[in-house]
Amino acid sequence: MGDITVIGIGPGRQGAMTIEAMEALRKADIIVGYRTYTALLREIFLEKRFEESGMRSEEERCRRAVALAQSGLGTAVVSSGDAGIYGMAGLCLAMAEGTGVSVRVIPGVTAASSGAALLGAPLENDFAVISLSDLLIPREEILGRVRAAAESGFVLCLYNPGSHTRREILREACGEILRYRPADTPCGIARSIGRGGEGVEILTLGELRDREADMLMTVFIGNCRTRVLSGKLVTARGYKEEK
């Protein structure tokens, strides 16, 4: 019997992958994952066996990983960022349940961390991470969480802020937040972190509401302690010196 290692490979570039993740990939007999991520790994592991699939087949990919492990292969399943944050770890654990295949999870640098670092330090105080994808969770539940987090004063970090089929969700989310925060609240966008086209933008909450979002963005929404310092988005922890 083989096993499954679910590996978060970080935002994209090799330097942002942990040494532990790299070692686990090196040891694996086969690497299973979404095409964008396996393409990055093919450049590093030239001799490795790969199996890739398209966007919406996470279940199929996990089922396949379980079968590969049962056939005796050390099977690596890769997710971008951290595999346990909107990744493949939970599904792999659920689908391996009762099959005798053991599953190990190796953490990675999630987009909240890598994006925050590019922008400055927006997550220095309490924050909430919310995915705006309504493929698996009803839209009302998502907007309810955005509202609750905004009312509670959390800095917000939004994953999956939009796509061509979900143009309105970021506008709606900003609408909820604007009930509790002024339109000039500092916000940030980190895009294509660790990949070609990487970039950041600092803008106000009012401007963010009218922005067209896509799947390659992670969005940060400041709170009353967030400021722009020398072009960086910074949330104060509360030290006297930070005033």
What is the token pair recorded at 178?
Answer: 């604007």
What is the token pair recorded at 232?
Answer: 């960086």
Please, which residue, 6 or 101, has the CB nearer to ligand SAH? 6
178-200: string of b/e by CB count within 10 Å (b at 16+)?
Answer: beebeeebbbbbbbebbeeebeb
Query: Could you say which of 111, 129, 142, 149 contacts ligand SAH (CB under 6 A)?
Result: 111
Q: Does 38 bind ligand SAH (CB under 6 A)?
A: no
Task: Report H helices in 14-152.
Answer: 19-27, 35-42, 58-70, 89-96, 111-119, 139-151
Cβ 117 to ligand SAH shortest distance, Å: 12
Cα gap 204→206, rounded to integer Å: 5
Please, which residue, 86 or 127, has the CB nearer to ligand SAH? 86
Binding map of ligand SAH across residues 143-162, x = CB under 6 A, - = no contact: ----------------xx--
Cβ 3 to ligand SAH shortest distance, Å: 21
Q: Pairing between strand 49-53 and 30-34?
A: parallel
**Which H or E run includes 142?**
helix 139-151
Q: Does 223 bind ligand SAH (CB under 6 A)?
A: no
Cβ 216 to ligand SAH shortest distance, Å: 5
Cβ neighbours, 10 Å, residue 66: 21
Binding map of ligand SAH across residues 49-88, x = CB under 6 A, - = no contact: ------------------------------xxxx--xxx-
For residues 235 and 222, the answer to whether their CB atoms sit within 8 Å is yes
Q: Does 107 bind ligand SAH (CB under 6 A)?
A: no
- Count residues contacting ligand SAH (CB under 6 A)? 24
HSE-CB for 174 with a 13 A CA cutoff: 28
Please, which residue, 101 or 217, has the CB nearer to ligand SAH? 217
Q: Does 216 bind ligand SAH (CB under 6 A)?
A: yes
Q: Does 188 bind ligand SAH (CB under 6 A)?
A: no
Q: Does 195 bind ligand SAH (CB under 6 A)?
A: yes
Cα gap 59→66, rounded to integer Å: 11
Residues that bind ligand SAH (CB under 6 A): 11-12, 79-82, 85-87, 110-111, 115, 159-160, 190-195, 215-218
